[in-house]
Structure 1
Amino acid sequence: MAFSTGNDSGGPMAEINVTPLVDVMLVLLIIFMITTPLMSHKVQVELPQANLLKREENAPPVPPITIAVKEDGKLFWNDEPITKEVLESRLSVEAQKTPQPQVNLRGDKTTKYRIIAEVVKTAQAQGIRKVGYVATKER
């Protein structure tokens, strides 16, 4: 491979050629100049303000509600047997409270998900915002 030295000494050239570097930098500058105006939002949207309910410091925390579902579809409200109609009415009453309690849903290992999904759908239809699942920790 032949090197151009530009002089008669025959050794390699020790100066750095900055022309390719300048070319790349100019291309990047042009790309950023074109894409920067596209990053600004054309449509102005007024976002809603967060409505965080502040709990009084001396108010006791609201205990969660536990709904247990057996394999055959039997429902239990804090270990008390109930029917689906009673569940709907109690959930609608609890949904009106401020702050709203969390609903913890426990299901047997062999309970079909369809039954649990019906309970979750009922809770959401009544206005409950926090529905969680309870499981045992693996060992």
Structure 2
Amino acid sequence: MAKSSKVVMVVVLVVVLAALGWLAATVVTARWMMHPITVDLPQRTAKPATVSNGTPQTIDLRVDADNRIYWNKSQVALEELQQRMEAEVRKNPANPPELRIDANPDSEYEVMAKILAQAKNAQMKKIGFVQ
């Protein structure tokens, strides 16, 4: 057998093995695709969260480039954030307020991580980022 025919046979063998591998992967994947997967998606609510006066209750939290934190335009210390959040959640536990965070791109990641941890510990359910 000539050397060139051996090379051709090796190339054909490699192509056939690759095709068989692709076919086996497709068959395995197709089986997964035939079984339904249950996903719990968020449901749309008829009315947004409101306070007694009918306006949506939100907390605007801003972090500036120097890592100063502002709670609805009033400067607050990082250490007192969780207490404030807990107090707001206690006012209406069934419908907690929305926390809207506006972080300066130059603020430190560590400060944001602490804010988010405190929000989680205070049972804040609605947290969003704004610009």
The answer to whether 1:120 aligns with 2:125 is: no
Structure 1 residue 59, shift from structure 2 partner: 5.9
- From 68, 76, 88, the counterpart of 2:70: 76
Structure 1 residue 97, shift from structure 2 partner: 2.8
Match of 1:86 in 2: 80
- From 98, 107, 131, the counterpart of 1:111: 107
Match of 1:17 in 2: none
* Count of aligned positions: 89
TM-score normalized by structure 2? 0.55
State the alpha-carbon separation in 1 of the partners of residues 53 and 65 from structure 2: 38
Higher relative contact order (CA 8 A, sep 6+): 2
Richer in helix (by share): 2
SS in 2 for 1:114: helix
Instruction: Please tell me whether Structure 1 or Structure 2 has the larger radius of gyration of its CA atoms.
Output: 1
Structure 1 residue 123, shift from structure 2 partner: 0.7
Structure 1 residue 118, shift from structure 2 partner: 1.3
State the alpha-carbon separation in 2 of the partners of residues 129 and 72 from structure 1: 27
RMSD: 3.1
Gaps of 5+ in 2: 1-30, 36-42
Structure 1 stretches of 4+ moved >6 Å: none
SS in 1 for 2:57: coil
* Alignment deviations for residues 44-83 of structure 1 (CA, whole Å, 9 cap, x no partner): xxxxxx9x8x879x96133210011122221100110111
Determine what percentage of the aligned residue pairs are the same residue: 21
